[in-house]
Amino acid sequence: MRYSGLQVLAQGLMGNRGWTPAWRDPKPKLAYDILIIGGGGHGLATAFYLAKEHGLTNVAVLEKGYLGGGNVGRNTTIVRANYGLPGNSEFYSHSLKLWEGLEGELNYNVMHSQRGIINLFHSDGQRDAYARRGNAMINQGDDAILLDTEGCRRILPYLDYAQTRFPIYGGLYHPRGGTARHDAVAWGFARGADLRGVDVIQNCEVTGIDVENGRVTGVQTTRGAIRARKVGMVAAGRTSQVAALAGMRVPIESHVLQAFVTEGLKPCIDHVVTYGMGHFYISQSDKGGLVFGGDLDFYASYAARGNLPMAEHVMEAGLTLMPMIGKARMLRSWGGIMDMSPDGSPIIDRTHIDGLYLNCGWCYGGFKAVPGSGYSFAHLLATDRPHEPAARYRLDRFETGAGLMDEEATGAQHNLH
Ligand SMILES: Cc1cc2nc3c(=O)[nH]c(=O)nc-3n(C[C@H](O)[C@H](O)[C@H](O)COP(=O)(O)OP(=O)(O)OC[C@H]3O[C@@H](n4cnc5c(N)ncnc54)[C@H](O)[C@@H]3O)c2cc1C
């Protein structure tokens, strides 16, 4: 079924009884050409682009839970291309371009909203760093505008400009940045892949990866064994556990990241805003809730919930920046499991096992990467050659030390994530 305004009108007139399921619920077959482990944003996008760009449809996505239950449905929905280093710049730039055509390509409303992102800065040093980043973005062909205090005041009048401890010197404005509805992205890619013949199989946990003579031959699952020529591991926060099924130890630590949402309010925050002097960023959802978050909880964990000190820290930072949000009531908070890589940049690569491929290390920024990652991983799986914008996301950079992409210059230290 093709979705359109006319379809909505017609279905409305017919009592909404004609809608069909957005994707099938297939039983796993005994064998596929390609298996994708993990039905999050990245796994589903990979399957979609395998079918769409490479005509490969004998493909299954194996998801241990339900679609949208992982980080793809837990994030704070920010989409941007404001990276500064070679490797990340071209990759996220490509991903944002895919976002801009995504709704048409999927025939699905993912509520992509290019409302603009403003990263505030509060010192001369921070201004220099953001000016440099903005220039890198422009050199990459993306958009960036350096605002001074008055420029910020014009578009963000509700910030506390009177605070003396961390005065607002200005902000780096990225107009093409914004948000999208997170779980709709998973649903849109699932529907698009399913329509092209991919089997999207929920409640199917991979419990083993079969390797014979250095080559992958299939997987064991809670719904039986499935053979495959190629297997892609795309399990985000569970990457280390999934890779261990093939005897691999990967340079990933899993950490909790929390998010918070308030009751629905009338529109008051038009952009995405990040605070340069505290762990806090915010936007307002189309339902009216203020959606905000901070930094990691700073301990490795597989629990999808966080601790109270971080919640308190985020609230404090938010109230320092925009006291008006103190009037809103908090509705919910939750956590997701982040696949933190040592340099904060991702991995899209083959492994030492023939036919086994790895996609991980998205840290707290992998939602915006979903289309780009799916596109590049599909290219790698289909052709065995890296896709140019993702060519630097090599696994061996952590072994050799060459080609690290450390955006935050925190060094290869997990405790500094
Ligand atoms: C609070 C929070 C805020 C965030 N904010 C942003 C943001 O604003 N912008 C941004 O770009 N990014 C953000 N992120 C990061 C982003 O959500 C993740 O980087 C991205 O979603 C990870 O990729 P994914 O969607 O494929 O992961 P997931 O949705 O977690 O997909 C992985 C899937 O693998 C499945 N799986 C695991 N093990 C197995 C197995 N053995 N067998 C079968 N299936 C398995 C899991 O069930 C899961 O569904 C945020 C994350 C969180 C938690």
In a mutational test of the pocket of ligand 1, which residue from 333, 364, 368, 377 has the highest number of ligand atoms less than 8 Å from its CB?
364
Domain identity same for 104 and 182: yes
Q: Is residue 149 part of a domain?
A: yes
Distance 75 CA to ligand 1 centre (A): 8
- The DSSP-derived string for 89-114 is HHHHHHHHHHHHTHHHHHTS----B-
Instruction: State the Cα–Cα distance between residues 223 and 36, nearest whole angstrom.
Output: 15
Distance 37 CA to ligand 1 centre (A): 13
- Verify whether ligand 1 is closer than 6 Å to residue 255 (CB atom): no
Domain identity same for 121 and 93: no
In a mutational test of the pocket of ligand 1, which residue from 37, 48, 64, 75 has the highest number of ligand atoms less than 8 Å from its CB?
75
Residues in the chain: 417
Instruction: State the Cα–Cα distance between residues 43 and 204, nearest whole angstrom.
Output: 14
Number of domains, the chain = 2
Choose one of 300, 323, 340: the last residue of a domain.
Answer: 340
Distance 283 CA to ligand 1 centre (A): 20
Which run of H or of E encompasses 213?
none
Instruction: State the Cα–Cα distance between residues 197 and 200, nearest whole angstrom.
Output: 9
Q: Which residues lie below 8 Å from residue 77, measured CB to CB, with a gap of 6+?
A: 179, 180, 181, 182, 283, 285, 291, 367
Domain identity same for 268 and 335: yes
Sites in the chain below the pLDDT cut of 50: none
Report DSSP state, residue 403: T
Q: Which residues pair with 197 in a beta bridge?
A: none
Provide the pLDDT for residue 216.
98
- Verify whether ligand 1 is closer than 6 Å to residue 72 (CB atom): yes
Provide the pLDDT for residue 416.
54
C-alpha dihedral over 21, 22, 26, 28, to 10 degrees? -160
Domain identity same for 57 and 127: no
Provide the pLDDT for residue 104.
97
Distance 236 CA to ligand 1 centre (A): 5
For residue range 211-266, what is the model confidence (pLDDT) as tens digits?
Answer: 999 999 999 999 999 999 999 999 999 999 999 999 999 999 999 999 999 999 99
Contact status, residue 39 vs residue 198, Cβ threshold 8 Å: no
Instruction: Give residue 321's identity as a one-letter amino acid code.
Output: L
Provide the pLDDT for residue 414.
54
Domain identity same for 206 and 325: no
- Verify whether ligand 1 is closer than 6 Å to residue 95 (CB atom): no
For residue range 99-136, what is the model confidence (pLDDT) as tens digits?
Answer: 999 999 999 999 999 999 999 999 999 999 999 999 99
Look up tokens 């998010």; give the residue: 259
* Pair of tokens at residue 311: 């919640």
* Pair of tokens at residue 309: 């000190």
Indicate which CATH number applies to the domain containing 171: 3.30.9.10
Instruction: State the Cα–Cα distance between residues 339 and 193, nearest whole angstrom.
Output: 25
Distance 160 CA to ligand 1 centre (A): 34
Provide the pLDDT for residue 102.
98
Regarding pTM above 0.95, the answer is yes
Q: Which atom of ligand 1 is nearest to the CA of 242?
A: 41
Distance 373 CA to ligand 1 centre (A): 13
Domain identity same for 105 and 186: yes
Within 251-355, strands assigned E span 253-264, 272-274, 281-284, 289-300, 330-340, 347-350
Provide the pLDDT for residue 407.
85
Domain identity same for 173 and 240: no
Domain identity same for 106 and 228: yes
Report DSSP state, residue 148: E
- Verify whether ligand 1 is closer than 6 Å to residue 236 (CB atom): yes
Instruction: Give residue 351's identity as a one-letter amino acid code.
Output: T
Provide the pLDDT for residue 408.
79
Instruction: State the Cα–Cα distance between residues 369 and 155, nearest whole angstrom.
Output: 27
Domain identity same for 108 and 212: yes
Q: Is residue 8 part of a domain?
A: no
- Taking Cα atoms as reference points, which of 177, 179, 180, 145 lies closest to residue 81? 177
Domain identity same for 101 and 188: yes
Indicate which CATH number applies to the domain containing 92: 3.50.50.60
Domain identity same for 108 and 182: yes
Domain identity same for 283 and 325: yes
Provide the pLDDT for residue 413.
60
Domain extent at residue 120: 114-177+254-340
Provide the pLDDT for residue 163.
84
Instruction: State the Cα–Cα distance between residues 410 and 401, nearest whole angstrom.
Output: 15
Is residue 21 classed as helix, strand or coil in its secondary structure? coil
